[in-house]
């Protein structure tokens, strides 16, 4: 029986992997500009971390976690997101003890047992930042700005930034109570919303069911309930975004599905993606560090889905012209030259050219066809007579022009032509560092 990849997972095949590498390099470059340092945490954690961090009554913890007991009987969970693990590590290693602000970024696979659909997977990849150690609304503005500027750097357009504030536990309490008394008589709400009503009525605003949206369209906005300090925090965050020229829309229904959020929440949306249109989500979490056993320490961050970002880049034609073609392919015409061809290919690679060596000596025609398939820019041909004269032939595939070149000179010769074509490797591959 054939075995395929598990439902909701996928392989990243070589052509696709090139895009991922380009994107990962761009992400790292932008995070470097902003001074975020990389952190890598395990792919699985103690289940309790997510129960406490994300919240027992959230969809993720209730329904979507891959949880298992290991042979020692410990309950472990494949991480469904990166914030709780990063905060766990921050607390465990006392990264706060240096004082001041800590700025971290991460990238890697996450796991949620959701119903797979376009843009929604069971193993997916996130990159994100967590900025810990300040309550300042400048931090909220910076985190939103990092995401927006990264998308700009990638050349993306038509993305919308939605911002809201869900206040602190004190202002949210009153809001939740009012929502409960307004909505508790509505038996027409969907099953999930009826459950949310008991546990966390604010999450009803997040429901995508059109009937629930209609029933809740006139409920007051959470922003009407903000205490003066939370209101001031929101206004300052928005004014910093205004000043920095970051466009956004205040969206009072945006509440997000994690219990750790306080005050600012935000999402970046690509409307062209359909139902799963959020390329990025984030917010402030001023009590999470304490919840996980650390000192009182505010934080704010975001995570963005690589798959949805790649879909967006594809939609907007940003991968046109990407290729993994080698600069040079070798054609060796006689078995006796196989070792010399291999040695010369190795030298060219040492000099920094991308080279496909000849691994099977065949007819010139077959080898030229293979080089054409690879879309090699040049073919170095080793024939007996030329080799005896210390030479090889170099053919430019674009126009078929061919030169006889001293074999000691072949590397410099090809590099000169590549420079002249201005079709060097950096440009060809989308300039990844």
* Nearest residue (CB) to ligand HAM, 111 versus 387: 111
**What crossing angle do the helices spanning 410-421 and 338-350 adopt, rounded to 10°?**
50
CB of 296 to ligand HAM, least distance (A): 18
Q: Which residue is nearest to ligand HAM (CB)?
A: 305
Sheet holding 378-382, edge to edge: 355-356, 328-332, 378-382, 391-396, 402-406
CB 238 within 8 A of CB 250: yes
CB of 288 to ligand HAM, least distance (A): 9
| Spatial contact of 305 and 126, defined as CB atoms under 8 Å apart | yes
- The minimum distance between CB 84 and ligand HAM, in angstroms, equals 8
* Residue 131 CB, nearest approach to ligand HAM (Å): 9
- What is the number of other CB atoms lying within 10 angstroms of the CB of residue 210? 8
Closer by beta carbon to ligand HAM, 142 or else 307: 307
Surface-to-core class of residue 209, CB atoms within 10 Å of its CB (0-12 exposed, 13-18 middle, 19+ buried): middle
Paired sense of beta strands 378-382 and 75-78, if any: unpaired
CB of 299 to ligand HAM, least distance (A): 8
Least CB distance to ligand HAM at residue 106 (A):
9
Give the shortest CB-193-to-ligand HAM separation in angstroms.
19
Q: Which is nearer to ligand HAM, 65 or 333 (CB)?
A: 65
Give the DSSP per-residue string, 305-354: EHHHHHHHHHHTTTTTT-----SEEEEE-SGGGHHHHHHHHHHHHHTT--
- Would you say 57 or 324 has its CB closer to ligand HAM? 57
CB 282 within 8 A of CB 299: no
CB 82 to ligand HAM: min, Å: 6
Tell me whether residue 121 or residue 151 sits nearer to ligand HAM (CB atom). Answer: 121
Taking CA atoms, 179 is separated from 44, 175, 186, 212, 263, in Å, by 36, 6, 11, 13, 18
Token digits for 205? 């605003």
- By beta-carbon proximity to ligand HAM, the closer residue of 115 and 217 is 115
Min dist. Cβ of residue 344 to ligand HAM (A) = 46
Question: Taking the CA atoms of the chain, what radius of gyration do you get in angstroms?
Answer: 28
Q: Which is nearer to ligand HAM, 3 or 275 (CB)?
A: 275
Q: Are the beta carbons of 95 and 102 closer than 8 angstroms?
A: yes
Cα dihedral value 180, 185, 190, 193, nearest 10: 10
| Residues forming the site for ligand HAM (CB under 6 A) | 81-83, 112, 114, 120-121, 124, 126, 128, 130, 278-283, 301-305, 307-308
- Residue whose CB is less far from ligand HAM, 81 or 286: 81
Cβ proximity to ligand HAM, 257 vs 383, nearer residue = 257
CB atoms within 10 A of CB 88: 23
């Amino acid at each position: 029986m054939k075995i395929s990849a598990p439902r909701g997972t996928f392989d990243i095949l070589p052509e696709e992997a090139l895009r991922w590498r380009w994107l990962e390099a761009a992400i790292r470059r932008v995070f470097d500009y902003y001074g975020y340092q990389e952190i890598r945490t395990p792919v699985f954690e103690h289940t309790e971390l997510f129960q406490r961090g994300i919240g027992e009554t959230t969809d993720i913890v209730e329904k979507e976690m891959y949880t298992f007991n290991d042979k020692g009987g410990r309950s472990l969970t494949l991480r469904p997101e990166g914030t709780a693990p990063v905060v766990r590590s921050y607390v465990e290693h006392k990264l706060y003890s240096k004082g001041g602000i800590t700025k971290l970024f991460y990238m890697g696979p996450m796991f949620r047992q959701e119903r797979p659909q376009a843009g929604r997977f069971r193993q997916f990849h996130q990159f994100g930042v967590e900025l810990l150690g300040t309550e300042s609304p400048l931090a909220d503005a910076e985190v939103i700005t990092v995401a927006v500027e990264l998308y700009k750097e990638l050349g993306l357009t038509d993305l919308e930034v939605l911002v809201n504030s869900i206040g602190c536990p004190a202002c949210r309490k009153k809001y939740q109570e009012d929502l409960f008394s307004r909505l508790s008589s509505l038996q027409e709400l969907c099953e999930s919303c009826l459950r949310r009503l008991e546990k966390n009525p604010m999450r009803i605003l997040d429901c995508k069911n059109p009937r629930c949206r209609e029933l809740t369209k006139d409920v007051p906005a959470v922003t009407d309930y903000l205490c003066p300090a939370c209101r001031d925090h929101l206004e300052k965050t928005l004014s910093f975004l205004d000043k920095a020229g970051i466009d956004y829309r205040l969206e009072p229904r945006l509440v997000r599905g994690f219990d750790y959020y306080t005050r600012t929440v935000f999402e970046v949306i690509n409307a062209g993606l359909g139902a799963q249109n959020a390329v990025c989500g984030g917010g402030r979490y001023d009590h999470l560090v304490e919840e996980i056993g650390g000192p009182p320490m505010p934080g704010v961050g975001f995570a963005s889905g690589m798959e949805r970002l790649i879909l967006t880049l594809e939609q907007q034609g940003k991968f046109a012209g990407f290729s993994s073609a080698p600069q040079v392919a070798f054609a060796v015409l006689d078995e006796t030259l196989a070792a010399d061809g291999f040695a010369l290919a190795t030298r060219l690679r040492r000099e920094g050219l991308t080279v496909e060596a000849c691994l099977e000596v065949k007819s010139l025609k077959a080898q030229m066809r293979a080089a054409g398939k690879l879309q090699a820019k040049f073919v170095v041909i080793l024939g007996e007579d030329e080799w005896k004269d210390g030479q090889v032939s170099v053919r430019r595939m674009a126009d078929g022009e061919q030169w006889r070149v001293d074999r000691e000179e072949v590397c410099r010769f090809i590099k000169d032509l590549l420079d002249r074509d201005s079709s060097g490797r950096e440009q060809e591959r989308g300039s990844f560092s």
